[in-house]
Amino acid sequence: MSAGTTTQATGQGTAPAPAGRASHAPVQPGVPLLSVQDLTVGVRPSRDRTVSIVEGVSFDVEPGQRMGIVGESGSGKSLTLRAIAGLLPKPVEVLSGRVEYNGVDLLAMPAKKRRTLMGPEIAMIFQEPMTALNPVVRVGDQIAEGPRRHLGLSAKEAGELAVQMMARTGIPDPARRARAYPHELSGGLRQRIMIAMAVSCGPRLLLCDEPTTALDVTVQLQVLRLLEKLCDETGTSLVFVTHDLAVVNQTCSELAVMYAGHIVESGRVKDTFRQPRHPYTRGLLESAPDFDRPDRLLIPIPGFPPNVSDRPEGCPFAPRCGYVRPHCTEAMPPLAEVLPGRLAACFESDRLDDEVLA
Q: Is 73 left (phi over 0), alpha (psi -120 to 50) or beta?
A: beta
162 binds other proteins (CB under 8 A): no
**What's the rounded Cα separation, in Å, for the pair 33 and 15?**
30
| Position 273, amino acid | F
194 binds other proteins (CB under 8 A): yes
20 binds other proteins (CB under 8 A): no
Q: Which stretch binds other proteins (CB under 8 A): 20-28, 29-37, 191-199, 260-268?
A: 191-199
Convert 120-156 to b/e letters by CB count within 10 Å (16 or more is b): bbbbbbbbbbeebbeeeebbbbbbbbbbbbbbebeee
Q: Shortest approach of other proteins to residue 209 CB, angstroms?
A: 10
**What's the rounded Cα separation, in Å, for the pair 327 and 330?**
5
Residue (107 or 288) nearer to other proteins, CB:
107
DSSP H/E element including 188: helix 187-199
From candidates 109, 181, 273, 323, binder to other proteins by CB under 8 A: 181
**What's the rounded Cα separation, in Å, for the pair 357 and 289?**
14
Residue (84 or 301) nearer to other proteins, CB:
84
116 binds other proteins (CB under 8 A): yes
Q: Which residues pair with 237 in a beta bridge?
A: 205
131 binds other proteins (CB under 8 A): yes
Distances (CA, A) of 146 to 100, 239, 267, 320: 23, 20, 34, 45
DSSP 118: B
**Total binding residues for other proteins by CB under 8 A?**
31
From candidates 17, 22, 70, 123, binder to other proteins by CB under 8 A: 123
From candidates 85, 99, 166, 301, binder to other proteins by CB under 8 A: 85
298 binds other proteins (CB under 8 A): no
Between 34 and 73, how does the x/- string for binding to other proteins read (CB under 8 A)? ----------------------------------------
C-beta neighbour count of 216 within 10 angstroms = 10
From candidates 16, 56, 76, 119, binder to other proteins by CB under 8 A: 119
- Residue numbers at the binding site for other proteins (CB under 8 A): 85, 87, 89, 111-112, 115-119, 123-124, 126, 128, 131-137, 142, 145-146, 149-150, 181, 183, 194, 197-198
